[in-house]
Chains A and B, each alone.
Chain A
Amino acid sequence: MRIISQIGDWFDQRLQLAAPIREVAEHPVPRNTASWFYVFGSAALTVFLLQLVTGILLALIYVPSASEAWSSLQVLNHEVTLGWFIRALHGWGSNFMVAIVLIHMVQVFLFGAYKFPRELTWIVGVFLLLMTLGMAFSGQVLRFDQDAYWGLGIGASIASRVPIAGPVIVKLMLGGPIIAGATLSRFFALHVFVIPGMLIGFVCLHVLMVLKLGINEWPMPGRLVKRATYASEYHELTKKAGAPFVPYAIWKDLFFAAFILLAVAACALYFGPFGPTGRPDPTIIQTVPKPDYFFLWLYALLSLLPPSMETPALLIGPVLVIVGLLLLPFLSGEGEKSWRRRPIAVLTVLLIAITLGTFTHLAGFTPWSPHMSA
């Protein structure tokens, strides 16, 4: 034992990390934040780490070339030992990631955690959500099959509707005049280098701010956030009546992280990997392209919008949603945090959830198209 502590001391003399790590681990948190409602952020981080590891493993075999990507996925599925399982973990991990990030966001919204002084944490979180969706779409492209091919066509068709710049954006997105080798290569670069790099940076920033500003206290109806007094009230909750994060609160995060990993693994084991569907051969038109489940609501929406509303909805809608999310902490940065006294907030969440759920449900049986065999 003495030799271990000596080695530890040797490293710490040089790294000087033990003290700051201990400080982070033992920083006091409000007692009632040690709750099962507060585990989704760490769960998202856990799944993100799973995606990093399984993504690197897949990159050992996957070939980002339009002529070979599909075959390399077949090799992963059928020839490499447990290649199918790593693919399934990565695919199910992405589904879980999107779901957990959305749940985390709803929880943060309903608990008023985006209010003063955590506005920037929320804004960074909005960008993390956008990057997560970017990872989901680009990952679907890397599974270079028929769905990926025609999904890119849908992406290009949406991009082409941008006034004036449309055709230029399409060529930039496709890397050429058509969906081909250059398209897959640039989505590979986005999925493997650009977006993960930004994600890692933004996740660090996000977590750093959670540590610096402290976890959001459990919202009590009637306890209003005021810029002038919040810091001292929060200080009261943590320094006087708080408990150290480790081990008081972290055990729930640990249990939930393990549970989520187990759930991803169980889905991967039971349902297996996603596709690939048919070869990305544009001459095979007997196909019924569909996006992955997190974009199904959009698929249904695009079928049901009146034609004249579609371009404005596609181009202006996302901008409004993103601007709305970014402005939220500035529009209601103070006041009531508890969802019990914020009926509009609760109704907004319910309305969005029901709308997305209904559209996703409709996309399951596409009543607007005759049934075509794939």
Chain B
Amino acid sequence: MLNENKISRRGLFMKLGIFFNGLVATALAVPVVRFLMSSITRGRAGAYLSWVPLGRVGEFPEGETRLATFRNPYVMPTDGKTVDTACWVRRVEGDQFQIFAVNCAHLGCPVRWFPQSGLFMCPCHGGAYYRDGSRASGPPERGLFEYPHKIENGLVTIQAGELFTPGPSAALTGKNPPCA
């Protein structure tokens, strides 16, 4: 008869075997999790962001809003056309610019500029914005996203690289979060 309080030799080996598997599984989980999280960790501290030229200042007439395109700075070989990005460039006057993401601040659909009415309008859920990007009406809780920009050697340059999304800060405070 086997004493219930006593661990048998085979029982001990089985437990050791389970423990050994657990150890190996934990060790293997580390690279697996790091691999899965790589899209987050790679982009830490703004590593996805770069300064990208849009064109010469002279290409954008004063008082008008024009569509400009640029190539996203972070590219993988299989990305195809998806890295080509559009943005709205508003030259207020002189070197004073506003550069808006095409993505609606509601749910990211591409907003269109209607010069006749002086509004950006979204084809999806009815969001509308004034010419300075501030919210006019519809479901968005904030104005259009703006790229940080600078004029360098006569080139309009923006800091880009990440998809703009409304994010929790926008939803909770209703204020524009710092562009990132």
Q: For residue A279, which residues in chain B have a CB less than 8 angstroms away from its CB?
A: 81
Most buried by A among B36, B81, B108, B163: B163
A67–B107 contact, CB under 8 A? no
- One of A20-28, A102-110, A154-162, A202-210 at the interface: A154-162
Closest partner residue, chain A, to B102 (CB atom): A285
User: If A150-B108, A160-B168, A372-B112 touch, does A303 touch B125 (CB 8 Å cutoff)?
Assistant: yes
Task: Give the shortest distance, in Å, between B116 (CB) and chain A (any CB).
Answer: 11
- One of B6-14, B21-29, B69-77 at the interface: B69-77
A351 to B38, CA, bound (A): 45
- One of A111-119, A135-143, A176-184, A227-235 at the interface: A176-184
Residue A299 CB within 8 A of the other chain: yes
Q: How many residues of B contact A (CB 8 A)?
A: 51
Task: Give the shortest distance, in Å, between A286 (CB) and chain B (any CB).
Answer: 7
B124–A289 contact, CB under 8 A? yes
Task: Give the shortest distance, in Å, between A354 (CB) and chain B (any CB).
Answer: 22
B108–A156 contact, CB under 8 A? yes
A372–B165 contact, CB under 8 A? no
A160 to B141, CA, bound (A): 14
Q: For residue B161, which residues in chain A have a CB less than 8 angstroms away from its CB?
A: 177-178
Task: Give the shortest distance, in Å, between B109 (CB) and chain A (any CB).
Answer: 6
Q: For residue A43, which residues in chain B have a CB less than 8 angstroms away from its CB?
A: none
A164 to B108, CA, bound (A): 19
Q: Quick one: CB contact mask for B80-93 with A, threshold 8 Å, 1 for yes?
A: 11111110000000
Q: For residue B83, which residues in chain A have a CB less than 8 angstroms away from its CB?
A: 178, 180
Task: Give the shortest distance, in Å, between A280 (CB) and chain B (any CB).
Answer: 6
Residue B133 CB within 8 A of the other chain: no
Q: Quick one: CB contact mask for B129-155 with A, threshold 8 Å, 1 for yes?
A: 000000000111100000000000000
Mostly, the B contact residues are loop
Q: Which of A65, A178, A280, A308 touches B78 (beta carbons < 8 Å)? A: A65
Q: Quick one: CB contact mask for A302-323 with B, threshold 8 Å, 1 for yes?
A: 1101011011000000000000
Q: Quick one: CB contact mask for B43-70 with A, threshold 8 Å, 1 for yes?
A: 1000010000000000000000001010
Residue A247 CB within 8 A of the other chain: no
Q: For residue B121, which residues in chain A have a CB less than 8 angstroms away from its CB?
A: 369-370, 372
A163–B172 contact, CB under 8 A? yes
A178–B74 contact, CB under 8 A? yes
Q: Which of A149, A180, A311 touches B76 (beta carbons < 8 Å)? A: A180
User: If A67-B78, A177-B161, A282-B82 touch, does A171 touch B109 (CB 8 Å cutoff)?
Assistant: no
Task: Give the shortest distance, in Å, between B177 (CB) and chain A (any CB).
Answer: 10
User: If A153-B109, A177-B48, A285-B112 touch, does A67 touch B163 (CB 8 Å cutoff)?
Assistant: no
Task: Give the shortest distance, in Å, between A93 (CB) and chain B (any CB).
Answer: 27
Q: Which of B72, B108, B139 touches A307 (beta carbons < 8 Å)? A: B139
Q: Quick one: CB contact mask for A166-186 with B, threshold 8 Å, 1 for yes?
A: 111011101111111111010
Task: Give the shortest distance, in Å, between A368 (CB) and chain B (any CB).
Answer: 3
Residue A288 CB within 8 A of the other chain: yes
Q: Chain A interface residue count: which class?
A: 35 or more
User: If A164-B168, A172-B39 touch, does A177 touch B123 (CB 8 Å cutoff)?
Assistant: no
Closest partner residue, chain A, to B88 (CB atom): A285
A299–B40 contact, CB under 8 A? no
Q: For residue A160, which residues in chain B have a CB less than 8 angstroms away from its CB?
A: 165-168
Closest partner residue, chain A, to B73 (CB atom): A177
Q: For residue A154, which residues in chain B have a CB less than 8 angstroms away from its CB?
A: 107-109, 124
A180 to B48, CA, bound (A): 14
Q: Quick one: CB contact mask for A272-293 with B, threshold 8 Å, 1 for yes?
A: 0000000111110111110000
B123–A372 contact, CB under 8 A? yes
Q: For residue A79, which residues in chain B have a CB less than 8 angstroms away from its CB?
A: none
Q: Quick one: CB contact mask for B153-174 with A, threshold 8 Å, 1 for yes?
A: 0000000011101111001100
B78–A303 contact, CB under 8 A? no
User: If A177-B43, A280-B81, A303-B126 touch, does A286 touch B112 (CB 8 Å cutoff)?
Assistant: yes
A302 to B162, CA, bound (A): 24
Residue A68 CB within 8 A of the other chain: yes
Interface residues of A (CB under 8 A from B): 65-68, 149-150, 153-154, 156-164, 166-168, 170-172, 174-183, 185, 279-283, 285-289, 299, 302-303, 305, 307-308, 310-311, 366, 368-370, 372
List of 6 A-B pairs having minimum Cβ-Cβ separation, nearest first: A67-B80, A153-B108, A368-B126, A160-B165, A181-B78, A285-B110
Chain A to chain B contacts (Cβ below 8 Å), 7 pairs? A157-B165, A161-B168, A170-B165, A175-B39, A177-B162, A302-B139, A369-B125
